[in-house]
Structure 1
Amino acid sequence: MPELPDWALTGEPTIEGEDYYYDGPYMVFTEKYHLKRGYCCGSGCRHCPWKVEQPK
C-alpha cells in the first residue's frame, strides 16, 4: 500500500467546493480544509490560515 501524503491523513473525506476546488489543473485546498487538518505544512498554500512565510 502506498504511503499517504500528510494532507490526506485527516481521516475525513474531502468535499469539492468545501475543502478544495480546481484552478485549472491544480487542486487548491481551502482555509476550511487547512483548519480541519490542524497544522501548517510549510508549502506556502494559497489559503493557509497560518500564513507562514516561506524561506527563499
Structure 2
Amino acid sequence: MTPDEAASVLGVTKRVLMDSYRRWGIPYLKVGKHVRFRTRDLHSWVDSRVQQQ
C-alpha cells in the first residue's frame, strides 16, 4: 500500500509516517524509488506494540 494508505491505517499523517517509519521500525518495501507497506506487516507491527496490562 502507498504511504497515504498506510498513514490512514495507522491514524497519522503521511508526513509523520514518512519522517518516522525507519525510527519506529515499521516494516516497508522499496519498489524502485518508492516506499510501500504491506497490510499484514502494519497489523503485525501494531499488534506487537500493544502493551498488555
Query: TM class, shorter-chain normalised?
Result: 0.3 to 0.5
Greater gyration radius? 1
TM-score (norm 1): 0.32
The higher-RCO structure (CA 8 Å, 6+ apart) is: 2
- Taking structure 2 as the reference length, what is the TM-score of the superposition? 0.33
Higher helix share: 2
